[in-house]
Structure 1
């Protein structure tokens, strides 16, 4: 049948007066692959390959069908009757998902895209062997020399030796006289693989040294290796790193493997999803869960989800006969030395992954040693790498690590490690947050803590480690350490502006306000009620914000704290602005706040409130008054450059400049508006806050559009969109998309755009009213 394909293909190519190279160029199939088909070396090419050739040859009707049939017959032929050539394990009957991985592995069937070495790596229970077997069944017809499958027993106490594996491989390949030494066996093995394309599946490899003698040399053979290790020492390998399944695929596997044991309906579908999540989307865990459902008819998916919901008992539930998730993970854990096991266990104390410094605190080991141990755990797929030199657990592995910690370490040691990690995270968070204070040296957190070379490094740490320090903050609050809770929240005051959309601020300032109340300090409670009011305004919980602002104002007056009364006024004004109440009452709140800030000697607060007054004047059509007041704010900012940190004054300056550009645009002074808008962009870019920068670009785009410069306006909007998207601001992205759509509908800005004014970008923050 293969000869028929080769003869047919050659005949059609010659009839079309095409060379191999010409047909390759027209079809996209390599000339070498076409030559292999014509000479009978590749008798069962993939369907899409032969279809591309048929299209290039312009075949239709019976000639086309004959060519496609010849290729299909080649793919369906029996494998050679060689010893070991048909020992591939059966496919998993419930195999689902892994679409991207299979698509990549299916390329191995085509000689033109074949790779000599493929490594499928991942933690125990992720389905590496099942994927390799499924892929091997699919691509096997492309290997005339057959398929060889060897279990390397890499996790056994005594893994298979290379010499023994080579002997089995040679016997499987039909070699009768097997040499005695490993080098001679390896040479004979490579010769056998070079004679005919063979697919070799080396399942469950322990390390590079075990598989190196079994790699292919010259020829078209492919070696596929599965291992819990990444086997990074093997060069030039195509790697597939398995992760937990996507949720939809995990639910599909659970439903298929359980044989429809659960009833249909939305409640049951939701329960299946919950089970899939609690199984960490690990195929092994999903199959065990499905087995438990199918063998216990009285159970529903909701029943199983309830059993799995207790993390301390989850792995005990994921057992079916002699198959258990904990046992599979233990095979990897048992390979570790004492320090690596200690680090593995202690990392379960860190909620969302760790950098080497935090991991070193948890394990009480030197940072340099921990870096090497993390590499080992990643190599063994017990951890997975995260951005920023961090590493973390997948869900089930985290549960296993916590179980080992509870089982192997005394409670007092676990408690000490827990407190050490918590102190490190909170002290470091305080140190990072206080760098944004107007006077960052005023209050230094205790050791141990991390140090930061600049604001960017501090901001990056606070953002990346947010889930971790928030978890430590939450635990501290739950234990009633009110003073630490207040101190941590206070340190975040100025930094929180830069990440105002983060929902965590509601918890941070909600807990700190309650902690201050518990401490019985009215002034302190006023401070933190104000912080909470800001968070509520940002997250559009306006009724709660109204009540909180009123309480903060009352507490401030009771304590005689003019500055906090000013902040309460400020937030009352910004709350009204958010609700589009740009009226005299809102203006009065801003003016009164500015007066109170002046009395308290708070220049930063005063600048923001005066800017709010200018904004209200502009909204009322009093543009000249608004411009004059805005210029006063800018003059005061310039005058305080030597006393107040640049990152605070740049915040105020970019806000005031943006408001000025908008006013100039409304007045129709387009050259001045463009000049000020460009200055706003420069200051916002220096500030380094994405949504500030994006807002400045959006105002510039509006000015440019009004001037008729559509090209530059579009460029500014696209850059603003990138910034908003990177900063996780979907509402701002949607606004820019509308701006772009308007730009496409009206290539040049109509005069009405000047009268309407630019799009509003007001957002409140504790340090400034308009991020």
Structure 2
């Protein structure tokens, strides 16, 4: 066939893609189907050449694309974004490739399949939809080479096996020529790296590629990127119910409400990961509430949770094992060491302590784990593992690390937390009576604490880890670090009113101090636990701890601690309504503090006396004592103590009938409470402002009380109920 005949053949077959062999016809001749300009082997013209075209079946799947799921998949926004990019009439100049990344089991493949099917139904791509699983993260199977993947794509394009070029470069050329002439959508699922993908990216024009990978594939410079995350709680529960055969459960059937509650617990323990949710759903498919309840209970055990997520065909542990296998040796060691950390969140300085490596080296390793989606950077310098990934890291720590290496890592981590918490506490509470750590800072880098905000930020971020770290310290060869750490956290706990970690750390530390027979340390911990219970109005529990504190301080010969126990008991009497008895305790402690020269404690006691005096109808005495206390706090730059005193002055002036002075002091307390980070004192200031505003501006009073109620409720404070009653009262008056 000469050039003009070849051109005629191309023009005569605008719809045909892929060469097919000649087939005998009923007339006795041969019917030659010619591809659109791509020829393999000799072409012989003899007599009449008849060209027919084969139409691709409308709406039929193409290229081995798997069937999409028929249930809710959760990633609606990401799916809509992909579909919009592939709609008919889309911009020809748009990106040729769309890369979807995320951890194993997050639903990347399903998202690509859903988007590809939508595009196929719209007949956006004349060349159809091609699909290949690149096996980049397949268990027990090596990734496909680019050449092998191209061979599969050419076969889908209709090129016979005998005509597929041997060399990869020739396969690339043939593949690109096909896509240039008949635009297609190419789905490249489960890519291992950028080098594997590059040869299969379509040429400029109408073709598009959808790529998925557990890795970030940074060398795909021109790809539009979509990062897929776990499902939010509502979507996770919906997926679980849909797949388990209970769509819409609980929406109109009260009998299904219990099942839905168990589903909520299961979804939470799966961490919103779609594969984990589908495996869990398979285990309870078609079953009723009792089966859901059992699975929710089994998944609560972090030691065995991964192995409960196994439906006989899909195993969550296997998915994570493949991702772990793809890490390099140093990344694997860091990953396993993250299993030593008690929680899934980790700061870069804590990671450096775990590994014993310099910050710069650890940062690069953490970036590698993030690139493999085994970890996520929440904010600069702070990282988080998915709960199931952390479970797997804990398993790897037990299997891949020698006991001596785990113990050394725990010691470095405890030392890091203790040193950093102590530095943060000295910023927040510089004059507090505390236990002293004489060992100095451990080697290695520790975060800076240049300000109160930096100290508060670090302590807030580490709250999930501190109980576990304290427990690890108590079980280590140096258990005294557990009570040193608990005591270093006490100032933050008092400020933030975080009851559960407050009690958790102190009970662990107290048990360690009891085993060691450390009397003074037990006294300090009992005093702090008593305060935690007092703040929650557990007066009996608080009194028991204060009595024990007094006993241990006496045994240790600690006069300052003994005065603290007496002063603390005053508050039990105060909240019991025995204001005269409370004032008596305050005066007893005050005399002891004056003998010891403890100015801060003297000021705290004067402030306590003022509250008892207000209840006894002596607001003038209260104002005098509060002014003296405020002077001391200002001199020592104790802002939390100062704001508590300002709130007290506002309340005392209100009792004295001077509402103008009350409002001024409460407004100052409101401003200062925000700057020192105390939501409790902000709520107290707003409660007082509501009270002084009630008579003349009830709407303003309601505003302040509603804000106070918000903070008290958030903190779990018993004050919330009394504020709720104030709101109800003024609302009833103005109906």
TM-score, normalised on structure 1?
0.72
Of residues 197, 217, 225, the one that matches 2:211 is 225
Query: Structure 1 residue 87 and structure 2 residue 57: aligned?
Result: no
2:99–2:226 contact (8 Å) kept in structure 1: yes
In structure 1, C-alpha distance between the alignment counterparts of 2:286 and 2:305, rounded to whole Å: 18
**More displaced, 455-464 or 332-341?**
455-464
Quick one: structure 1 residues 290 and 562, their matched pair in 2 at CA, closer, same or farther if it must change by over 3 Å?
same
Of residues 491, 503, 520, the one that matches 1:506 is 503
Which residue does the alignment assign to 1:137?
A: 117
1:250–1:276 contact (8 Å) kept in structure 2: no
Of residues 655, 662, 666, the one that matches 1:673 is 662
Output aligned runs, 1:423-434, within 5 Å: 423-434=415-426
Residue by residue over 1:129-163, the C-alpha shift from the partner in whole angstroms, topping out at 9 and shown as x without a partner, is 12332344345433432433232232367544556
Of residues 115, 123, 127, the one that matches 2:103 is 123
Of residues 585, 592, 605, the one that matches 2:601 is 605
- 1:350 is displaced (CA, Å) by 0.8
Output aligned runs, 1:525-544, within 5 Å: 525-544=522-541
Quick one: structure 1 residues 107 and 700, their matched pair in 2 at CA, closer, same or farther if it must change by over 3 Å?
farther
2:133–2:189 contact (8 Å) kept in structure 1: yes
Residue by residue over 1:285-308, the C-alpha shift from the partner in whole angstroms, topping out at 9 and shown as x without a partner, is 4555565678999x9667767776
1:533–1:545 contact (8 Å) kept in structure 2: yes
- 1:228 is displaced (CA, Å) by 0.8
2:348–2:362 contact (8 Å) kept in structure 1: yes
Quick one: structure 1 residues 741 and 165, their matched pair in 2 at CA, closer, same or farther if it must change by over 3 Å?
farther
Which residue does the alignment assign to 1:17?
A: none
Which residue does the alignment assign to 2:369?
A: 377
Quick one: structure 1 residues 249 and 540, their matched pair in 2 at CA, closer, same or farther if it must change by over 3 Å?
farther
- 1:164 is displaced (CA, Å) by 6.0
In structure 1, C-alpha distance between the alignment counterparts of 2:694 and 2:109, rounded to whole Å: 59
Quick one: structure 1 residues 93 and 685, their matched pair in 2 at CA, closer, same or farther if it must change by over 3 Å?
closer
Which residue does the alignment assign to 2:350?
A: 358
1:634–1:656 contact (8 Å) kept in structure 2: yes
- 1:82 is displaced (CA, Å) by 10
- 1:600 is displaced (CA, Å) by 3.1
RMSD: 4.5
Quick one: structure 1 residues 175 and 674, their matched pair in 2 at CA, closer, same or farther if it must change by over 3 Å?
farther
Which residue does the alignment assign to 2:393?
A: 401
**More displaced, 536-545 or 691-700?**
691-700
Quick one: structure 1 residues 667 and 412, their matched pair in 2 at CA, closer, same or farther if it must change by over 3 Å?
closer
Residue by residue over 1:171-201, the C-alpha shift from the partner in whole angstroms, topping out at 9 and shown as x without a partner, is 75679999965775676466457x6xx5443
Residue by residue over 1:497-546, the C-alpha shift from the partner in whole angstroms, topping out at 9 and shown as x without a partner, is 22223311112222333444333344443332211111111233332122
1:98–1:245 contact (8 Å) kept in structure 2: no
1:315–1:400 contact (8 Å) kept in structure 2: yes
Query: Structure 1 residue 201 and structure 2 residue 182: aligned?
Result: no
Residue by residue over 1:656-680, the C-alpha shift from the partner in whole angstroms, topping out at 9 and shown as x without a partner, is 2222223333444344333333333
Of residues 430, 440, 457, the one that matches 1:437 is 430
Which residue does the alignment assign to 1:349?
A: 340
2:418–2:488 contact (8 Å) kept in structure 1: no
In structure 1, C-alpha distance between the alignment counterparts of 2:394 and 2:272, rounded to whole Å: 19
Output aligned runs, 1:34-433, within 5 Å: 85=62, 87-92=64-69, 97-98=74-75, 101-102=78-79, 105=82, 107=84, 116=95, 118-138=98-118, 140-145=120-125, 146-155=128-137, 159-162=143-146, 165=149, 169=153, 172=156, 181=170, 184=173, 188=177, 191-192=180-181, 199-212=185-198, 214-215=200-201, 223-233=209-219, 234=221, 237-243=224-230, 246=233, 248-249=237-238, 251-252=240-241, 255-256=244-245, 282-288=273-279, 315=306, 318-319=309-310, 323-352=314-343, 353-433=345-425
- 1:627 is displaced (CA, Å) by 2.1
Query: Secondary structure at 2:64's aligned position in 1?
Result: coil
Query: Secondary structure at 1:89's aligned position in 2?
Result: coil
**More displaced, 95-104 or 382-391?**
95-104
Which residue does the alignment assign to 1:627?
A: 623
2:527–2:545 contact (8 Å) kept in structure 1: yes
In structure 1, C-alpha distance between the alignment counterparts of 2:578 and 2:89, rounded to whole Å: 68
In structure 2, C-alpha distance between the alignment counterparts of 1:738 and 1:311, rounded to whole Å: 42
Quick one: structure 1 residues 552 and 471, their matched pair in 2 at CA, closer, same or farther if it must change by over 3 Å?
same
Residue by residue over 1:403-431, the C-alpha shift from the partner in whole angstroms, topping out at 9 and shown as x without a partner, is 33333333332333233323333333334
In structure 1, C-alpha distance between the alignment counterparts of 2:628 and 2:242, rounded to whole Å: 66
In structure 2, C-alpha distance between the alignment counterparts of 1:502 and 1:585, rounded to whole Å: 28
In structure 2, C-alpha distance between the alignment counterparts of 1:256 and 1:504, rounded to whole Å: 39
Quick one: structure 1 residues 695 and 136, their matched pair in 2 at CA, closer, same or farther if it must change by over 3 Å?
farther
In structure 1, C-alpha distance between the alignment counterparts of 2:702 and 2:311, rounded to whole Å: 60
- 1:119 is displaced (CA, Å) by 3.3
- 1:108 is displaced (CA, Å) by 5.2
Of residues 474, 477, 487, the one that matches 1:490 is 487
Query: Structure 1 residue 571 and structure 2 residue 553: aligned?
Result: no
Task: Give unpaired runs (5+ residues) of structure 2.
Answer: 1-54, 250-254
Quick one: structure 1 residues 671 and 349, their matched pair in 2 at CA, closer, same or farther if it must change by over 3 Å?
same
Query: Secondary structure at 2:366's aligned position in 1?
Result: helix
- 1:471 is displaced (CA, Å) by 0.7
Query: Secondary structure at 2:124's aligned position in 1?
Result: coil
2:79–2:115 contact (8 Å) kept in structure 1: yes
In structure 1, C-alpha distance between the alignment counterparts of 2:304 and 2:695, rounded to whole Å: 64
**More displaced, 550-559 or 522-531?**
550-559
1:203–1:225 contact (8 Å) kept in structure 2: yes
**More displaced, 237-246 or 501-510?**
237-246
Task: Give unpaired runs (5+ residues) of structure 1.
Answer: 1-77, 749-771
Quick one: structure 1 residues 735 and 161, their matched pair in 2 at CA, closer, same or farther if it must change by over 3 Å?
farther
In structure 2, C-alpha distance between the alignment counterparts of 1:253 and 1:351, rounded to whole Å: 34
**More displaced, 342-351 or 79-88?**
79-88
Which residue does the alignment assign to 1:587?
A: 583
**More displaced, 614-623 or 111-120?**
111-120
Residue by residue over 1:617-669, the C-alpha shift from the partner in whole angstroms, topping out at 9 and shown as x without a partner, is 2233333232233223234445xx1xx3x1x2x22222222222233334443
In structure 2, C-alpha distance between the alignment counterparts of 1:504 and 1:144, rounded to whole Å: 57
Query: Secondary structure at 1:224's aligned position in 2?
Result: strand
2:146–2:197 contact (8 Å) kept in structure 1: yes
In structure 2, C-alpha distance between the alignment counterparts of 1:448 and 1:393, rounded to whole Å: 26
In structure 2, C-alpha distance between the alignment counterparts of 1:295 and 1:723, rounded to whole Å: 43
Query: Secondary structure at 1:225's aligned position in 2?
Result: strand
- 1:612 is displaced (CA, Å) by 1.9
- 1:374 is displaced (CA, Å) by 1.0
- 1:592 is displaced (CA, Å) by 2.8
In structure 2, C-alpha distance between the alignment counterparts of 1:106 and 1:620, rounded to whole Å: 72
Which structure dedicates a bigger proportion of its chain to helix?
1
**More displaced, 607-616 or 475-484?**
475-484
